[in-house]
Chains A and B, each alone.
Chain A
Amino acid sequence: MKKPISKHEYQKLVEKKAPGSHVVRNLFAAFFTGGLICTVGQGIMMLVKSFGADKDTVAAVTSITMIFLGAFLTGINVYDEIGKFGGAGASVPITGFSNSIVSPAMEFKKEGYVMGVGAKMFLIAGPVLVYGIFASVVAGIVYFIWKQVM
């Protein structure tokens, strides 16, 4: 008699006993971090606007600046700490997207610029790009049909 517990029972037991995430703490941390990043973005936007730039330029300059900040903070080993604290609050904004591309580029530099940096750069961001672009194509087609019909 060595197996008094079935696979199913064991999985249920593990599920029941496993320590859960600190949901409330994580929600607050994500809200705070995401909010802070967006506030910084808003600040940059207002600053660029105050120089009299047009709407398109303001949007482009703001995105570029935020992407740079994400990459920069990743490069000086800070963004992983922000991500550890803020979770999705740090990964959803554009700075997180930047982090997801720069971090593998740094990590896999040792394997060379082609098979390392080049091949592994989009390890994490790849799926986001694939499905993001796919979703935008679908949305575009739906929009096109909608305009024809209406």
Chain B
Amino acid sequence: MAKRLGQQTIVLDKQPIVLAGAAIVGRKEGDGPLAKYFDEVVDDEYAGEKTFEAAESRLMRDAFIKALEKSGKAAKDINVILSGDLLNQCTAASYAFRDSDTPYLGLFGACSTMSESMLIGSILIDSGAADYVACAASSHFCSAERQFRFPLEYGSQRTPTAQWTVTGAGTVILGKDGQGPRITCVTPGKIIDEGIKDANNMGAAMSPAACDTIVQHLQDTGRSVDDYDLILTGDLGSFGSAMLRELTVRNHIDLKSKHNDCGMMIFDLARQGVDCGGSGCGCSAAVFSAYILEQFRLGLLKRILFIATGALLSPTRTQQGETIPGIAHAVCVEA
């Protein structure tokens, strides 16, 4: 059974296994540095569907099917799907799994959804409530732009702190037995709001939450940065990552060369014109499900802390003058 350790961390007794992962991304991501790790690159931004929302659901469903295939499990083996995305009412996820005939729990954690789903999924398995769960998250540049920003064809300039919403979906299958890296402990994060109002500077809005969760995790477990091969944040981007360093240093924690960020890994920042890097639920979901799992398979990683970060931004509240709350959930994955 799961046990509480310190203030926020939960140690998992059964250590659920990440059986397999799959990621499907869009063309721009397929042109980035991690291209060869993705299971599929979809050139058509509509992915053969009629709308961008349907396209996002399509990516999510296909990534789920692909991950199932790789895990050797059938859809009926999955006890519950935990999934979410950025769209209102978690549209992409609920329509993706409409015909899945599997219990479904929709999650909203903005871009922290991937680690949130893995966190809850691993506790479900540890408690014996589930044998196999699917954790999935997605985002789509075009569906996010129309909900949060401007129409695609509107001619406007992006601010230098802006990030580029990743078109992509990632799914991992967690199980009580099998081969693969294990989830050993998890640290759910608190909502942290340090007063950032600029919706074009999400990295800065999220980095205090990332810092808080990292500091809390290390404190709870009594570990140091050296105990990890990689501390992987979700989508802080280059500026958010710089702010994370500022904040961790003030907490007497030196991330050294151990930190990296999915938003900076998925794109070539200088070449691809994405300003501070990638963002969106699909960013950390795709990078973890494809690249990170492959690194584990190759034996290049032994223990990582995966912290997907979310800006709990509401366009309505931002227009009302409110600030942007951030959140970050940590999942410790070991070979």
Contact = CB atoms under 8 A, between A and B. Distances in A.
B265 to A, nearest CB: 19
Interface SS of chain B:
loop
Interface in A13-64: 13-14, 17-22, 26
B250 A83 contact: no
Interface residues of B, number: 32
Interface in A103-134: 103-104, 106-108, 110, 123-124
Given A80-B152, A91-B155, A104-B154, A7 B194 contact: yes
B156 interface: yes
A10 B159 contact: no
Given A10-B195, A21-B159, A99 B204 contact: no
Given A10-B208, A11-B194, A19-B239, A99 B160 contact: no
A14 B156 contact: no
A100 B195 contact: no
Interface residues of A, number: 42
Contacts of B155: 74, 79-84, 86, 90-91, 96, 99, 103
Nearest to B273: A84
B157 A87 contact: yes
Contacts of A124: 150-151, 154
Contact of B201 (A18, A26, A84, A91): A18
B153 A18 contact: no
A17 B160 CA distance: 12
A100 B194 CA distance: 34
Nearest to B152: A107
Given A10-B195, A17-B242, A83 B156 contact: yes
Chain A contact residues, majority secondary structure: helix
B243 A13 contact: yes
A34 to B, nearest CB: 12
Contacts of A80: 152-156
A110 B51 contact: yes
A105 to B, nearest CB: 8
Contacts of A84: 155-158
A5 B250 contact: yes
B50 interface: yes
Contacts of B153: 74-75, 77, 79-80, 99, 102-103, 106-107
Interface of A: 1-2, 4-5, 7-8, 10-11, 13-14, 17-22, 26, 74-75, 77, 79-84, 86-87, 90-91, 96, 99-100, 102-104, 106-108, 110, 123-124
23 contacts: A4-B250, A4-B251, A5-B247, A7-B194, A8-B195, A13-B246, A14-B201, A14-B243, A17-B239, A18-B160, A18-B201, A19-B161, A20-B160, A21-B160, A22-B160, A75-B153, A77-B153, A84-B155, A103-B151, A103-B153, A103-B154, A110-B50, A124-B151
Interface of B: 50-51, 146, 150-161, 194-196, 201, 204, 208, 212, 215-216, 239, 242-243, 246-247, 250-251, 276
